[in-house]
């Protein structure tokens, strides 16, 4: 149990503004017990992305990046999946497990990047570049996926594009991830849609240079959603889980984390002997942080808010995700 640690770092949790620390610990403990009991009774599983408020790990069955969570969503035999992540993640879980009830604790939890492209815009993008296969980042709606040839996540994007054997591909919506893939491969032209993650774009090259001056021995670990000029300055670029794995396995003692705060929080919790410096205090995805333990309890108790996908859209979107999973086994 990491309640004390969680208590120190979850200032965004609206449940916990006015209580004393002891009262907050008690509330959390009770909620954790109630959620775990309800999970068993309802044969439910909780999937949590590693940008979630850290106390959610106490009730989560699986915590990880988008690829790992979609793999878990596909293979679970639970009746209910509660997704502590953003909307597109819960929607992907529904596509992969259509017979299960998939619940998103807070419907406000969208992804600003995924919202940058809709069905009409993906069609326009394809029409401008006829005949070129389209790869969509998993951070897209089912509608957008239904129009694309292949899906990818930040952890498998390079492998996926390589596996397609094309000279040119369309990539959407994240222009920076697309351009990073192009630089890694060197022999594929990646035509990108102008989408981006507002949270990752808060990180600037100046931030990296200043952090390096202050902590000269610490490698910079960045997410590929960062701006190209930031990614170029990093020592390692990878998915959220990739960054955590790199830091845990490294002999180094100090690291500069250039992604969302949840990754730095989990690393500090898991490796107290190492030092993790979040590049800036405000690298927080507000949408990921909506879910609280109380919301998770409410979702399970009332079986709210259920995610559904139009059948025709689902039929086409699932192919796009399944082709990705087949390459990423």
Applying CB under 6 A, the site for ligand SF4 has a residue count of: 12
* The only residue of 52, 66, 97, 175 in contact with ligand 13P, by rule CB under 6 A: 66
Query: Shortest gap between Cβ of 225 and ligand SF4 (angstroms)?
Result: 6
Contact 55, 11 (CB under 8 A): no
Question: Residue 153's closest CA among 229, 77, 50?
Answer: 50
x/- letters, 206..225, toward ligand 13P (CB under 6 A): -------------------x
Q: List CB contacts of 155: < 8 A, sequence separation 6 or more.
A: 65, 66, 67, 68, 238, 239, 241, 242
Tokens linked to 52: 């979630």
Confirm or reject binding of residue 260 to ligand SF4 (CB under 6 A): yes
CB environment 108-121: b (16+ within 10 A), e (fewer): ebbbbbbbbbeeeb
Q: In this structure, are strands 150-152 and 168-172 parallel, antiparallel, or unpaired?
A: unpaired
Q: Between residues 46 and 89, which has the closer beta carbon with respect to ligand SF4?
A: 89
120-149 mask for ligand 13P (x: CB under 6 A)? Answer: -------------------x----------
The residue (of 177 and 314) whose beta carbon lies closer to ligand SF4 is 177
Restricting to residues 10-69, name those near ligand SF4 by CB under 6 A. Answer: none
Among residues 109 and 139, whose Cβ is nearest to ligand 13P? 139
User: Considering the rule CB under 6 A, would residue 92 count as an interface residue with ligand 13P?
Assistant: no
The strand ranges marked E within 96-225 are: 101-103, 134-137, 150-152, 168-172, 189-192, 220-222
CB atoms within 10 A of CB 326: 9
> For residue 93, which of 67, 119, 63, 60 has the smallest C-alpha distance?
67
* Contacting range for ligand SF4; rule: CB under 6 A; set: 11-19, 68-76, 282-290, 320-328: 282-290
| 199 binding ligand SF4? (CB under 6 A) | yes
Residues that bind ligand 13P (CB under 6 A): 65-66, 139, 153-155, 197, 225, 239-240
Residues that bind ligand SF4 (CB under 6 A): 86, 111-113, 139, 197, 199, 225, 260, 285, 287-288
């Amino acid at each position: 149990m990491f309640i004390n640690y969680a208590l120190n770092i979850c200032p965004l949790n609206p449940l916990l503004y006015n209580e004393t620390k002891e009262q907050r610990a008690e509330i959390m403990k009770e909620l954790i017990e109630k959620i775990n009991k309800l999970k068993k009774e309802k044969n439910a599983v909780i999937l949590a992305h590693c940008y979630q408020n850290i106390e959610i790990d106490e009730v989560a069955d699986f915590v990880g990046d988008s690829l790992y969570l979609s793999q878990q969503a596909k293979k679970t035999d639970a009746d209910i999946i509660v997704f502590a992540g953003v909307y597109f993640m819960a929607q992907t879980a529904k596509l992969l497990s259509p017979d299960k009830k998939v619940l998103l604790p807070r419907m406000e939890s969208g992804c600003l990047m995924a919202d940058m492209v809709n069905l009409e815009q993906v069609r326009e993008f394809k029409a401008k570049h006829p005949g070129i296969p389209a790869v969509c980042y998993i951070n897209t709606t089912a509608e957008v996926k239904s129009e694309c040839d292949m899906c990818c996540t930040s952890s498998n994007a390079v492998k996926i594009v390589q596996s397609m054997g094309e000279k040119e591909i369309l990539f959407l919506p994240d222009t920076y991830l697309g351009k990073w893939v192009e630089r890694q491969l060197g022999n594929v032209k990646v035509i990108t849609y102008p989408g981006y993650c507002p949270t990752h774009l808060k990180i600037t090259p100046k931030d990296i240079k200043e952090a390096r001056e202050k902590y000269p021995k610490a490698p910079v670990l960045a997410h590929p959603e960062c701006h190209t000029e930031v990614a170029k300055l990093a020592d390692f670029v990878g998915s959220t889980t990739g960054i955590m794995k790199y830091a845990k396995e490294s002999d180094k003692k100090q690291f500069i984390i250039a992604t969302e705060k949840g990754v730095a929080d989990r690393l500090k919790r898991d490796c107290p002997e190492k030092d993790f410096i979040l590049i800036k205090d405000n690298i927080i995805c507000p949408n990921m942080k909506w879910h609280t333990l109380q919301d998770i309890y409410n979702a399970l108790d009332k079986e709210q808010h259920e995610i559904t996908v139009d059948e025709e859209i689902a039929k086409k979107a699932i192919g796009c995700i399944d082709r990705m999973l087949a390459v990423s086994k």
